[in-house]
Amino acid sequence: MSTAPKSDKDRVIIFDTTLRDGEQCPGATMTFEEKLNIAAMLDGMGVDVIEAGFPIASDGDFEAVNEIAKRTQNAVVCGLSRAGAKDIDRCAEAIRPARRGRIHTFLSTSPVHMKYKLQMEAQQVFELVVSSVTRARNHTDDVEWSSEDGTRTEFDFLCRCVEAAIKAGATTINIPDTVGYAVPEEYFDLFKRVRETVPNSDKAVFSVHCHNDLGMAVANSMAGIRAGARQIECTINGIGERAGNAALEEVVMAMRVRNDKLPFWNKIDTTQLTHASKVVSAATSFPVQYNKAIVGRNAFAHESGIHQDGMLKNAQTYEIMLPETVGVKQTSLVMGKHSGRHAFIHKLEEMGHKLSGNQLEDAFVRFKALADRKKHIYDEDLEALIDEGMVHAHDRIKLVSLSVIAGTRGPQRATMKLDVDGETRIEETEGNGPVDAVFNCIKSLVPHEAKLELYQVHAVTEGTDAQAEVSVRLSQDGRSMTARAADPDTLVASAKAYLGALNKLVMKRQRDVAQQSAAAVAAS
Ligand code: KIV
Ligand code: ZN
């Protein structure tokens, strides 16, 4: 790993869009609290710009961007906006409390988008670029303009729009590969030519925004940077529309590990990457693929005899970066039922979690309960326990107890006790299999119309006493919510995950109703 001297001209701005492009993809919807938690984490790990949402999209999006703008300490807080006046004004209102706020306005410029999506002529689009950037610039000095579907845009028209956007006051110009169609050489040439052709190109920072439809989002992003762009738009775990966006952890580590070929730097604290991946995966309940670069559970695992032998002789034989650099700690047998509160706090701090007050108390009680049921408690078990505590702290429906009769002689039966807003409810139901019986029980205790869209189980660690981690996605009225829960008993984990998703739907509905009545009061 080379450590070339850092100069300002080689600094790359990391623009994270996990909460906007990432959250926009089907099934990744996050709650208000999850968004605030992720924004604080991104701010703490050194992200330069947090794209916190799309304020005009819904009141919930507006509230989240607004609250993140109030709380963020270091990063620029950015909101996305289409080119219309109402969109831009709403976005400006959302980011107003930020110490540093940005309006990111975009408009399609490719022939196919202009003709079918916008149904506008090129000249109308050009005029709208100027008026939208001018309007945004009247609200703030920090304005980003994106040419949506930039890589399929006719070159001369792209240059005209970029020049006009900069003249109207855009300080960042993003040329997205919206459909993930570009290849690296092509994206490199595009940035080089645009920067050479547009006369005022030196007045703006150029930005890359690459989708992964052909698996080239990271390679394309790096090609754009080599051609002079100095901002990368990316997401944790690469989540995003369709095949996702360039993964933050991958672009950051590519610049760090191959600084000899990619002599650029950024401010990210790489030791937080693994933790960030886990937090986003828990909030969205999108599992991280085992072989995912940098943060996959196999990224530093060496299974074959030849590799293990090489590793024992010298880690450099098969490892191009130290696991600790990205925050991976060797899986260790950490604790058991005799571990005390001090050891527990110490271990959590070592893992990067600083809990206090009720949160700590609650985590310790749940740790003790787990230790009573599971002999060996690993780091992964503790991570699952902490994630669950953060995600479910505000739940209105809580599981009190569950027993299930399963086996070859059906029907299977579940008996469940729930606490619903402080009221105890008990029910016994049958099902076509134990999981079905558990879910029927919940439906009967808390009647709802939500449909089960996803049910997925995997083991947190190895061994027959490993905790099961269950993901459940429920959808209702066009909205889907996913939740994840872990427990040594698969059926308990299933019940908790189902209740987690149901709680998110209930809370979302409650927030929507509160916002509607506040709007009605304001209008009367
Ligand atoms: O992919 C894209 O083009 C976008 C824009 C809104 C920047 O996400
Ligand atoms: Zn995008």
Least confident of 190-194, 307-311, 312-316: 307-311
Q: Could you tell me if 436 and 339 lie in one domain?
A: no
What CATH number did the domain enclosing 415 receive? Answer: 3.30.160.270
Q: Would residue 518 count as lying in a domain? A: no
Domain end: 256, 284, 312, which one?
284
Q: Could you tell me if 121 and 12 lie in one domain?
A: yes
Q: Which atom of ligand 1 is nearest to the CA of 233?
A: 7
Number of domains in the chain: 3
- What pLDDT shows up at residue 181? 98
pLDDT digits (tens, 9 = 90+) for 231-269: 999 999 999 999 999 999 999 999 999 999 999 999 999
Q: By percentage, how much of the chain surpasses pLDDT 90? A: 65
**DSSP-derived secondary structure for 398-442:** EEEEEEEE-SSSS-EEEEEEEEETTEEEEEEEEESSHHHHHHHHH
- What pLDDT shows up at residue 3? 53
Q: Would residue 431 count as lying in a domain? A: yes
What is the whole-number distance in angstroms between the Cα of residue 175 and the centre of ligand 1? 9
Q: Would residue 2 count as lying in a domain? A: no
Q: Could you tell me if 77 and 221 lie in one domain?
A: yes
Q: Could you tell me if 76 and 208 lie in one domain?
A: yes
Domain end: 234, 251, 284, which one?
284
Q: Which atom of ligand 1 is nearest to the CA of 179?
A: 1
Least confident of 238-252, 272-286, 304-318, 391-405: 304-318
Q: Is 106 in the pocket of ligand 1 (CB under 6 A)?
A: yes
CA distance 234 to 249: 9
Task: Quote the domain boundaries for residue 379.
Answer: 301-388
**Residue 37, token pair as written in the block:** 């938690």
pLDDT digits (tens, 9 = 90+) for 345-389: 888 887 777 788 888 888 898 888 888 877 778 777 887 788 776
Q: Could you tell me if 348 and 409 lie in one domain?
A: no
- What pLDDT shows up at residue 390? 64
Q: Could you tell me if 171 and 76 lie in one domain?
A: yes
What is the whole-number distance in angstroms between the Cα of residue 98 and the centre of ligand 2? 23
Q: Would residue 401 count as lying in a domain? A: yes
What is the whole-number distance in angstroms between the Cα of residue 179 and the centre of ligand 2? 8
CA distance 373 to 194: 62
CA distance 154 to 132: 21
Q: Could you tell me if 277 and 136 lie in one domain?
A: yes
- What pLDDT shows up at residue 105? 98
CA distance 178 to 117: 14
Q: Is 54 in the pocket of ligand 1 (CB under 6 A)?
A: no
Q: Could you tell me if 41 and 172 lie in one domain?
A: yes
CA distance 80 to 245: 16
Q: Would residue 164 count as lying in a domain? A: yes
Q: Which atom of ligand 1 is nearest to the CA of 24?
A: 8
Across the chain, mean pLDDT equals 91
pLDDT digits (tens, 9 = 90+) for 45-71: 999 999 999 999 999 999 999 999 999
Q: Could you tell me if 261 and 355 lie in one domain?
A: no
3 state SS for 364-390: HHHHHHHHHHCCCEEHHHHHHHHHHHH
Q: Would residue 293 count as lying in a domain? A: no
Burial status of residue 10 (CB atoms within 10 A of its CB: 0-12, 13-18, 19 or more): middle
- What pLDDT shows up at residue 299? 87
Whether residue 331 is predicted with pLDDT greater than 70 in this model: the reply is no
Q: Is 82 in the pocket of ligand 1 (CB under 6 A)?
A: no
* 149 alpha carbon, closest ligand: 1
CA distance 153 to 258: 32
Q: Would residue 296 count as lying in a domain? A: no
What CATH number did the domain enclosing 37 receive? Answer: 3.20.20.70
Q: Would residue 290 count as lying in a domain? A: no
Q: Could you tell me if 67 and 150 lie in one domain?
A: yes
Predicted TM-score (pTM) of this structure: 0.81
- What pLDDT shows up at residue 307? 64
- What pLDDT shows up at residue 362? 87
